[in-house]
Amino acid sequence: MSERAYRVIGSRPVRHDGADKVTGRAQFGADIRLPGLLHGHLLRSPYAHARIRRIDTRRAEALPGVLAVVTAADLPEVPDRLLELVEGTLPLSYAQANVLARRKVLYKGHAVAAVAAVNRHVAEEAASLIEVEYEPLPPVLDLLEAMREDAPLLHEDLRTREFGQPTGKLSNIAEHFRHALGDVEQGFAQAEVILEREFRTATVHQGYLEPQTATALWNQDGRVYVWTSTQGAFSAREAIAWVLDLPVSQVRVTPMEVGGAFGGKIRVYLEPVAALLSKKAGRPVKIVMPRRDVFEATGPTPATCIRVKMGARADGRITAAQIWMAYETGAFPSGQCGFGALCILAPYDIPNILIDGYDVVVNKPSTAPYRAPGATQAAFAAESVVDELAERLGLDPIEFRLKNAAREGTRRADGLKYPRIGCVEVLEAMKNHPHYRAPLEGAHRGRGVAMGYWFNIGWYSSCTISVNPDGTVNLVEGSVDLSGTRTSIAMQAAEALGLRADQVHPVVADTDSIGPTAVTGGSRTTFATGWAAWEAAQDVIRQMKERAALLWEVGPDQVEFEGGVFRAGERSLSFRELAERLEETGGPVIGRGTVNPSSAGGSFAGAIADVEVDPETGKVCLLRFTCVQDAGTAVHPGAVEGQMQGGSAQGIGWALNEEYLFDPQGVMLNSSLLDYREPTALDVPPIETLIVQAPEPDHPFGVRGVGEANIVPPPAAIANAIYRAIGVRLRRLPMKPSAVLEALWSKER
């Protein structure tokens, strides 16, 4: 538990953007209104794989009310360079081809052309008048088939990288990597029980409620202004500038309120298209993605195939684990398998590990991160096998995990030596939780547990703090606020300055108004931008000490600051009293903070799930669910609980119902919120939370990001619970009713 006493950290103030969000005043991406605004609409490919032979836009251009039509021909040729994404790097040519297809369409829904018109209905009508001649090609839709030597190739220039080196071999396998620790052969030789299992998981979507949207104005002075729903104003600025071959400083991105993202709003989709349309039309253009396109043409998260071989001694020690994992990347390469590999065995101290990972392109939308990208699929596989091993050895599943738990000094599969982590603390908290000890009676009921991990990232952030004469401060930050980080960052500034949370006024700024700040993702924002705010606060304190020293005619190092009061000997001024006197002591005080921590403490989360299975329909009902997570230090416990509950609900949806269904031609069959079936309020039980606090050693307040690890354990915990309810182990996500029923039938046969 937290060892330090804080005044603000650990409290639950009402969030700073709260009033705007309950009154409808908050400005989300699509809410922007500009004089002369046009509406854009994209034409998308009906084929999953085809060559574009010809595009004729004349009929669309002739429709009254149409002001601009663009295709990939309007995009500049761009130099060969790598675009930095959170999940790795992507060749710029691929990033550009995903915005508007150039020679080939690589998935159903791939953007081909766009129209700007006086309203959305005219734009839609015009888009339908664009004639595109396609040469359909056989689609590659299955991960394992895509890996075959004789599979049709998506790209004519994609060569496999193996163990970090180019091989020159053309294939759909973008990357094959390996992590090795110890000697797995020897490890398995020591094992008394060895299990080998294969798991499949389906493509799922982040499912944010706000569709992608972008508004752009290509100003007559050559600057491009963009208002968008993005996780990172600066990463969007870079991507837009690169795709349009502009200097980054020519682009200003204003991040609007974001209606959910979860990793899916890092890439740019509509922004460059809106900019091109605006350039042609000479007026601002807004595009709002229809929901179907959100499913078909943004970045869902990979379907996977994961094989886990794990061995343990009779005394309960895991001796070796070998993993073969292949992740679909969709139409273009992505690095999520690599993330999965860092997480798949992360909760355990296993001396002998061999992991082979493959990123494979298929004719589906280009995948994007989704909350702990790659980790949930990995944990579903590994945690199911860990559970089965515990059962074989006759051990309680939490005791078995504790016996093998990773702790400070344990090596992760990639060789990283853990600093202080909270894995054991989370497991102990689960073991002692009333939920785990509560009796669970009744037929077809079972309880399962699982662990999850997300490594969290650091990365660069900027903040400025200016002092108001009334003793409050304005905090300007570059981090887009997805779910309350304005408040969790402001609270850290308030703590450092001895102020109340409501005396810090946070503002998320555009890219012209604050220093570069990396994307809100990787659970980094409360950690890294909070740290930058702390640095900015220290800068303010340093300058304010100088002002007090001036008033008191002492040296600045004689002035102390504690509990919101500046002191030197007998003399003292509160923060507010000194703030009133800045004008007479040299003018405004503005503090700045920039950080770029290379690593961050990872976060562990555990789930306990009770289920009841209807053996006649296969439907799984969650009776009770508990999430336990290490927050390092919980800045705003209410917001931390909110993250835990939200991540758990997403994990529950992933476990039970969510999936992309495709026809044999690669057309998505369920691209609506009706048929994609995100959980409703009735589909999840009240989600209990328990926050564990094992402070991160480097951060000024010991903060660990909590945004992601919570989504990781639910599918495995629910699979393990289903096994205890009906005696069947499900190794495919989602564990939908028909799948549960079929598993029951095959057990009976």
Cβ at position 637, least distance to another protein in Å: 9
Contact call for residues 517 and 461 (beta carbons, < 8 A): yes
Of these, 123, 611, 639, 725, which contacts another protein (CB under 8 A)? 639
Rounded to 5, what percent of the chain is helix, strand, coil? 30, 30, 40
Q: Does 11 bind another protein (CB under 8 A)?
A: no
Q: Does 551 bind another protein (CB under 8 A)?
A: no
Q: Does 65 bind another protein (CB under 8 A)?
A: no
Residue window 287-306: x/- pattern of binding to another protein, with contact defined by CB under 8 A: -x-xx---------------
Q: Does 610 bind another protein (CB under 8 A)?
A: no
Q: Does 260 bind another protein (CB under 8 A)?
A: yes
Distance from C-alpha of 678 to C-alpha of 687, rounded to nearest angstrom = 16
Q: Does 22 bind another protein (CB under 8 A)?
A: yes
Of these, 559, 649, 706, 718, which contacts another protein (CB under 8 A)? 649
Is the CB of 14 or the CB of 62 nearer to another protein?
14
Stretch that binds another protein, among 338-346, 437-445, 573-581, 678-686 (CB under 8 A): 678-686
Q: Does 680 bind another protein (CB under 8 A)?
A: yes
Q: Does 484 bind another protein (CB under 8 A)?
A: yes
Q: Does 73 bind another protein (CB under 8 A)?
A: no
Closest CA to 239 of 264, 270, 205: 270
User: Phi, psi at residue 32, to the nearest 5°?
Assistant: -70, 140
Cβ at position 211, least distance to another protein in Å: 7
Is the CB of 31 or the CB of 546 nearer to another protein?
31
Q: Residue 198: beta bridge partners?
A: 307
Q: Does 670 bind another protein (CB under 8 A)?
A: yes
Cβ at position 726, least distance to another protein in Å: 16
Residue 120: other Cβ atoms inside 10 A = 16
Is the CB of 204 or the CB of 381 nearer to another protein?
204
Q: Does 12 bind another protein (CB under 8 A)?
A: yes
Q: Does 732 bind another protein (CB under 8 A)?
A: no
Tell me which residues in 261-290 interact with another protein (CB under 8 A): 261-262, 288, 290
Of these, 610, 678, 696, 708, which contacts another protein (CB under 8 A)? 678
C-alpha dist (Å) from residue 168 to 55, 337, 363, 694: 33, 21, 22, 46
Q: Does 682 bind another protein (CB under 8 A)?
A: yes
Q: Does 27 bind another protein (CB under 8 A)?
A: yes
Element (H, E) at 686: none
Closest CA to 444 of 721, 749, 747, 736: 721
Residue 178: other Cβ atoms inside 10 A = 12
Structure tokens at 211: 């569709």
Helices (H), 598-728: 637-656, 673-676, 714-726
What Rg, from alpha-carbon coordinates, does the chain have?
27
Distance from C-alpha of 487 to C-alpha of 700, rounded to nearest angstrom = 17
Tell me which residues in 189-228 interact with another protein (CB under 8 A): 206-211
Q: Does 645 bind another protein (CB under 8 A)?
A: yes
Convert 581-605 into a string of H (helix), E (strand) and C (coil): CCHHHCCCCEEEEEECCCCCCCEEE
Q: Does 741 bind another protein (CB under 8 A)?
A: yes
Of these, 464, 657, 693, 720, which contacts another protein (CB under 8 A)? 657
Helices (H) and strands (E) in the chain, counts: 21, 31
Cβ at position 277, least distance to another protein in Å: 18
- Kindly determine how many residues on this chain lie close enough to bind another protein according to the rule CB under 8 A: 77
Of these, 721, 736, 743, 744, which contacts another protein (CB under 8 A)? 736
Residue window 391-430: x/- pattern of binding to another protein, with contact defined by CB under 8 A: ----------------------------------------
Q: Does 158 bind another protein (CB under 8 A)?
A: no
User: Phi, psi at residue 617, to the nearest 5°?
Assistant: -120, -15
Stretch that binds another protein, among 147-155, 500-508, 572-580, 616-624 (CB under 8 A): 616-624
Is the CB of 97 or the CB of 285 nearer to another protein?
285
User: Phi, psi at residue 538, to the nearest 5°?
Assistant: -60, -40
Is the CB of 508 or the CB of 589 nearer to another protein?
508
Q: Does 486 bind another protein (CB under 8 A)?
A: no
Cβ at position 33, least distance to another protein in Å: 6
Structure tokens at 50: 């085809």
Residue window 431-470: x/- pattern of binding to another protein, with contact defined by CB under 8 A: ----------------------------------------
Residue 563's Cβ-count burial label (10 Å; 0-12, 13-18, 19+) is: exposed
Q: Does 1 bind another protein (CB under 8 A)?
A: no
DSSP-based three-state secondary structure for 102: coil
Stretch that binds another protein, among 83-91, 417-425, 504-512, 665-673 (CB under 8 A): 665-673
User: Phi, psi at residue 674, to the nearest 5°?
Assistant: -75, -50
Q: Does 746 bind another protein (CB under 8 A)?
A: no
Q: Does 483 bind another protein (CB under 8 A)?
A: yes
DSSP of 205-270, one letter per residue? ----SSPPEEEEEE-TTS-EEEEE--S-HHHHHHHHHHHTT--GGGEEEEEPB-S--TTTTSS-SS
Of these, 19, 73, 170, 438, which contacts another protein (CB under 8 A)? 19
Is the CB of 456 or the CB of 650 nearer to another protein?
650
Convert 380-407 into a string of H (helix), E (strand) and C (coil): HHHHHHHHHHHHHCCCCHHHHHHHCECC
Of these, 7, 51, 102, 120, which contacts another protein (CB under 8 A)? 120
Helices (H), 657-735: 673-676, 714-726
DSSP-based three-state secondary structure for 709: helix
Distance from C-alpha of 159 to C-alpha of 15, rounded to nearest angstrom = 49
Is the CB of 39 or the CB of 699 nearer to another protein?
39
Cβ at position 199, least distance to another protein in Å: 21
Element (H, E) at 52: strand 50-56
Is the CB of 507 or the CB of 673 nearer to another protein?
673
Is the CB of 295 or the CB of 348 nearer to another protein?
295
User: Phi, psi at residue 491, to the nearest 5°?
Assistant: -65, -35
Cβ at position 25, least distance to another protein in Å: 7
Edge-to-edge strand order for the sheet containing 565-568? Answer: 560-562, 565-568, 571-574
Q: Does 661 bind another protein (CB under 8 A)?
A: yes
Of these, 238, 257, 425, 477, which contacts another protein (CB under 8 A)? 257
Is the CB of 206 or the CB of 352 nearer to another protein?
206
Q: Does 650 bind another protein (CB under 8 A)?
A: yes
Owner of token pair 């598993």: 743
DSSP-based three-state secondary structure for 91: strand
Stretch that binds another protein, among 165-173, 183-191, 334-342, 734-742 (CB under 8 A): 734-742
User: Phi, psi at residue 534, to the nearest 5°?
Assistant: -65, -40
Owner of token pair 């290509």: 218
Stretch that binds another protein, among 303-311, 439-447, 464-472, 673-681 (CB under 8 A): 673-681
Structure tokens at 385: 């096998």
Cβ at position 416, least distance to another protein in Å: 31
